[in-house]
Structure formats: structure tokens, C-alpha cells
Structure 1
Amino acid sequence: MVKIALVGCGVEYSGILKEVEKAALTFGAEIILPDIDLDYIEESYLKFGFSAQSPNLKLMIARAMSIVEGRTKADAVFVCTCFRCAEGALIRNEVRRFIQQNSHIPVVTYSFTEKTKADELFIRMEALVTTVARRSILAREKQEGLTMGIDSGSTTTKVVLMENNKVIGTGWTATKDIMESVNIAAADAFGETGYGWDDIDGIGTTGYGRLTIGKKLNAELIQEEISVNAKGAVYLADKQRGEATVLDIGGMDNKVITVNNGIPDNFTMGGICAGASGRFLDLTSRRLDVDITELGPLAVKGNYRNATLNSYCIVFGIQDLVTTLAAGGSKEDVADAACHSVAQQVYEQQLQEIDIREPLIQVGGTSLISGLVEAVSDILGGIEIIVPDYSQHIGAVGSALLVSGLGNRNNQ
């Protein structure tokens, strides 16, 4: 059983410890709490060198130190603090960085509320377990045979057909009925390839609908999108060796993943505010009466400084953009303001929690919005961002790649 060390503040008395344990157990993992004595707390705090006023945060630091120094044996670490505590947020990030810099143990961070439930933690726990238990699968660098990858997202369903390390077919449709959407996208992917369902060697699924689809299609691989997206990104960007950072601004949540030799070693997710997601850009394009594919080029021509946007909220943000248009503002400036608003929020909520390792690979459907890619680069000081071919199909590509070699269903 995979052992996940819980390094947090307030978890025990906030009432969410059982939820964390339940989430871990769902994926065959066990939560352990590093056992620390009082003398070691003070010793660790002095070594750590970061001031903390709360005794619970000092205990958190000591638990992190015990993992790094080998006193606590853990396969992965879950670092969390209450979202209400500003000091906790600082310590959480420093603890995460400390463990990463001084060990090879995968880490994930989380900001919890008193109402956090187990299912909200599923993807994080599954990703941690996957990184530990399926390391050999994640090390795969070449696709073989004929495989299908399915990414059932909150907004769209993507299907990719790969043969002998090449993408030979793709399909994309809006997610409505889960299986119907898969069949529509799969029909597009098969297209003129001459292949059908009976020819496929293996099927991999990811995304929100992965469990349902995997069960219906008897998929050989059912895997969360953190490891799958990371693998697909570095594969398509030809950055499977060395370090990289993957950014996926999705329709429901956002992911920032750091990768080392093709294997994710840290990530952060967000999904609290729709104003920081692709949903805001979709609403903006509708308000501007342009197709979402036109929003990027429109934004590149604009100047966000000319548009008033005083709120990050998706509701009030749209109202601000409407006000700008009513005052004679241009569509170009409004489009650019929307892109910069999303990019700024992603930076404040997530990119600051991660030590960005270049190159930065931007993926997902929003990576096709050139104005957003430019805005992210601008906020990060002008760094180069790679948007690989098939970036919008990243989860499906990752699934098709990883399922390769897990067995040929036609020989069973």
C-alpha cells in the first residue's frame, strides 16, 4: 500500500482528517502522520529558517523535516493548510519547496475548508498514487501498435487514434451525454483511417468521465488527468528528458504540473472561481459575438490597459467588459483584458505556488487562444511558451501513449 505522509496544519481539529483518509483509501493508499517529539519540533524549526508564529505550523515544519531526514518513511506527501490562514499559505508553499529540493518524493499541496469532502481530493490522491505505483508506465516514451486515447472533459470530449508513435486521427465534440459524446468523437477520429473499434490494441481514458467510459469500453488504462496530461505534453513538445512545466487552463479547473524526465513531481490545481478558467473566455467571446477561435487573434491586436476590469469574478467581470464596450471601448481591448484577467488569476492562484521550470508548455483547448498564451508569457516576464501540435488533445494523446504496451485486447 502506498504511504502518503500528511503534513498540514489544522487537519486534525478541522474535521477533514477522515475525509483525507477516505480519499487516500479509495485509491489504495494509507495516510500516515509523522510522529514528532517536542525537542525535534524546536530543532527542526531552527533548521528550517522560516518564521512561524503558530505552534501547529511549527509542528508542520517538523513533520516535513522528519520526511526529508528519513525519520518518516513515506512514498508521497500531501501538504495542506486552511484557506483562511495567510501564514499557513506561506508555510505551505515553503514546506512544499523544502521537500522537493531535498528529496525525490512527489508532493501535492491543497488549501482546505472546513467543508472539504473526500471526493474533492480524489484527483490529487489518485495522481499521487499513480506517480508512485505506476512509475514504469509513466516512463514510456514511445507509442506502439494501434491505440485510442479518450479525454472526457467538463466541456469537450476528445479522442485520439495513434499508430506506431504517430497521431493518425482526432475527434472533438462538446461533452453532453458521456458515451454519446465519445462515439461522436471516435467516429471523427476513425475518419478515413480505415480502422474501427475491433482493430484497436488498447484504450486509455482520462478526464471527468474516465471511470464511466473505462467501464463501458473495458479500457486497459483508466487514469487521472494530472499524470496523463503531463506525459502527453512533454511527449508532443519533445521534452521528455529534463525538466519542464505544463500549464492547462481548462473549462472547469486549471492545472500546473512540474515534470522531471517525463514524470510529474509536483502539481497544483484550481477550480474555485470560473473567472480564472476557460469558461470566462467563452462567455467573453459570446458577448463580443465572435467565435471562440477568433478571440485570440482579436486579443493580440488589443491593449488590455484600455479596458476597465475591476473584478476577477466571472459575473462582475463580464459586467465590467460590457461597461467598457458601452463607453466606446474596442472589441480588441476587451478581448485582451479578458485574456490578461484569466492569466493574472492563474498566476496569483497557482503559478506562484510552483517553481516554474522552463520550458513552459501550455496545453488544452485554451492554448489555441493566442491572446491568452501571450498574456501568460507577459505576466511571467516574457518567457517563451511552447504550444505543441495537438495541444488541445493533450489528455487523449497521453492516454493513447501510456496504454501502449499494456496488452493487446485483440489477443485476449
Structure 2
Amino acid sequence: MPYFLGIDVGSVSTKLVVIDETGEIKFETYLRTEGGPIQAIQKAFRQLNETMGEIEVAGVGTTGSGRRLAGIMVGADVIKNEITAHATAARWVEPNVRTVIDIGGQDSKIIFFQNGVPVGFNMNTVCAAGTGSFLDHQATRLGIPIEEFGEYALRSKSPIKIAGRCGVFAESDLIHKQQMGYKKEDLIAGLCLALATNFLANVARGRKIEPVVLFQGGVAANVGMRAAFEKKLGLEIVVPPHFKVMGAWGAALLAKRNYERRKKPSNFRGVSYIASFTCTPRTFICGDCANNCEVNEVYIGGELVSRWGSRCGKWNNLSLSSADRPENRWDSGLSLRRA
């Protein structure tokens, strides 16, 4: 039986999903990226290799902020943005979905559907209040494991009003109220309500939220945030079973759709090979014109496999050697240009 892989590489977490021909998940893993997407991807494939071995893969899709690097590493057949991937998975899980609230480690987004088709979306801009990294920071500062953060909110009898216009104001107000001696559960419940209000104002931007509403992304594990959204909206919020890996699942479903349409062999490099090869990104500045393009390269096993960033297309040919040019010499991560 052929399988389909989906990889979602974000700034905070890296997810890998394997689905079968029916679209059901057969393997999933959720890892912290920890500033090393290459290492995180390879660790995920080592886990896959230990669990399922060298499986037959008919298609691979990548998504997330690191989707291009991931696509080059694994030999992806489909590279899609997060909105498309999350919308695809949401529609697969709930065909009647009308709204998707997705909050990850560094970004948050909302997707609107009509008759099963995505018709619009918004993302957070400069404010990261309510994202996973913000909640992690607040949990650490309050001395509470992030896994218990939401449970504290549910125990509150009198939530404290917290300023939630942005992350800076929310944290400042939380510290002020904490110094006044309020209970932790009331502080956390107030913070969850403030962050839900912030999301509806700055991400949803006043648009009507209609059921069925799916809540996905890592923050969906926080029952306090789920309760806060339900209180603010007056609607039931549905958290799907695989809420943490919806982006990767969507990427796998898109790879499956691509295979069914094209019936072409996959470019996938192989589970065990990806788990063990050496992958090195490099960059240099092309100084041949005033554009000063930053050209990016990826080497796998010492071989140049991809290059991008040249506006004029001069460096599109992989046979051109940047290392041999005196004005474009790459050395220990530094780019040197002829004055």
C-alpha cells in the first residue's frame, strides 16, 4: 500500500504525518524545532524509520514557514502555504466547517468557509499575544507547567480583567495584578479571556464567526483558551483529534490529491536516506549589479541540489560554481564581495 507524507515546519514546532490511501493517519510526530529545522526534520524521519521502516511513498507535501527547505530536503511533490494546508485538513475532518481558528507557536490565523470552500482568511500582524510561545512564557513566569495552564483557568470563580490589546500590555497588566495578590487561576482565566478578545479583534477583525468552528494548532490543547472562545462567541468550539498536526495532515492530503491527478512517481528521497544524510544551507551575495541579490544554496551529501534568490536568473543553473568566483566566495557562513 502506498503512503503519503506531510511535513509542517514552523518556527516553534515541526510535524510529520503519514497517511494511507484513505487519508487516515498511520503515523504522526510533533517535535520542537528549537532553531534547527534540518535537525528536527531528520529526527522526525528517524522516528518514522524506527516505527514503520522504509515505506513505499507515492507523494510528499510540505507546508509551514520552512516548507521550501523541507521540500528540497525530502524531495517534495507539493509545496503549499499554511492556509491551504490547514483548510484542506479542516474540510477533511469536518465537511460542514465554516470557521477555522488556528493558533500556533508564533502566528495565529482564521479561515472562513462557504459551502466547503475557503473564501477568506486573516493572520496576526505584529502582535503575537495568545500564541504558543507567549503562553509558554507566561506559564514559566507563573511557575506553572504549560500542560496545566488551561486547567487553572477552568477552576477560576472570578476572572481578573487583563488588558489584551497586545502581548506587551497583557504581560504588564498581568504582572501588576499578580503583585496585588490575586489567585493564579483568576489571573490565568482573565488572561485567556483577554487573548480571545485580542484574537477576535485583531485577527478575525470583526467578521462574523459561524459554526461549525474548528480550533486547531498547538494552543488548542489549552482548555482555558477553548473555554474563553466559547464564552466570547457563545458557540461550541470543536477541537479535532489531531489538532496539533493539521497542517502536516493537510500537506499529506494535498500530496495524495496531486498523485491521483498526475499519477507520476514521487521525488521522495527515501526515509532512511533523509534520516541520515548531511544537509547544509549556504548563502552568498552576488555583486555583479546594484541588486546585490542574496543567493541561497542547499547542499545534500556535498552536492548542490537547489539555489534561489537571484532576481535576474543568472544563478538558476546549478552547474555554476559560486565558490570559484572571487566576488562571490562563501567561507564559514560569511559572504565576501569584491569592493
Give the distance between the partners of 1:244 and 1:308, measured in 2 at CA.
30
**1:253 aligns to what?**
107
Please tell me whether residue 393 in structure 1 is matched to residue 245 in structure 2: yes
Q: 1:304 to 1:362 in 2, by over 3 A?
A: farther
The partner residue of 1:384 within 226, 236, 239 is 236
**2:198 aligns to what?**
345
Q: In 1, are the aligned partners of 2:164 and 2:170 still within 8 Å (CA)?
A: yes
Q: In 1, are the aligned partners of 2:91 and 2:97 still within 8 Å (CA)?
A: no
Q: In 1, are the aligned partners of 2:3 and 2:58 still within 8 Å (CA)?
A: yes
1:288: how far off?
Answer: 1.6
Segments of structure 2 that go 5 or more residues without pairing to the other structure are: 270-339
Matches within 5 A, 1:68-147: 145-147=2-4
Percent identity over the alignment? 30
Q: 1:174 to 1:386 in 2, by over 3 A?
A: same
Q: In 2, are the aligned partners of 1:206 and 1:396 still within 8 Å (CA)?
A: yes
Using the size of structure 1 for normalisation, the TM-score is 0.59
1:336: how far off?
Answer: 1.1
1:261: how far off?
Answer: 4.5
Please tell me whether residue 328 in structure 1 is matched to residue 181 in structure 2: yes
1:276: how far off?
Answer: 4.1
RMSD: 2.2
Q: 1:323 to 1:148 in 2, by over 3 A?
A: same
1:308: how far off?
Answer: 4.7
1:265: how far off?
Answer: 1.3
Q: 1:206 to 1:214 in 2, by over 3 A?
A: same
Q: Greater helix percent: which structure? A: 1
Amino acid at match of 2:172: Q
Please tell me whether residue 270 in structure 1 is matched to residue 270 in structure 2: no
Give the distance between the partners of 2:219 and 2:147, measured in 1 at CA.
9
Give the distance between the partners of 1:304 and 1:191, measured in 2 at CA.
49
Give the distance between the partners of 1:292 and 1:253, measured in 2 at CA.
18
Please tell me whether residue 208 in structure 1 is matched to residue 59 in structure 2: no
Which stretches of structure 1, 4 residues or more, deviate above 6 A after TM superposition?
Answer: none
1:340: how far off?
Answer: 1.2
1:187: how far off?
Answer: 2.9
* 1:287-324 per-position Cα deviation (integer Å, ceiling 9, x unaligned): 1222222111111112463x352353323422322232
The partner residue of 1:168 within 10, 26, 34 is 26
**2:166 aligns to what?**
313
The partner residue of 2:82 within 221, 225, 236 is 225
**1:359 aligns to what?**
212
Q: Using CA pairs below 8 Å that are at least 6 residues apart, which structure has the higher relative contact order? A: 2
Give the distance between the partners of 1:261 and 1:174, measured in 2 at CA.
35
The partner residue of 1:185 within 44, 47, 67 is 44
Q: 1:348 to 1:256 in 2, by over 3 A?
A: same
Using the size of structure 2 for normalisation, the TM-score is 0.71
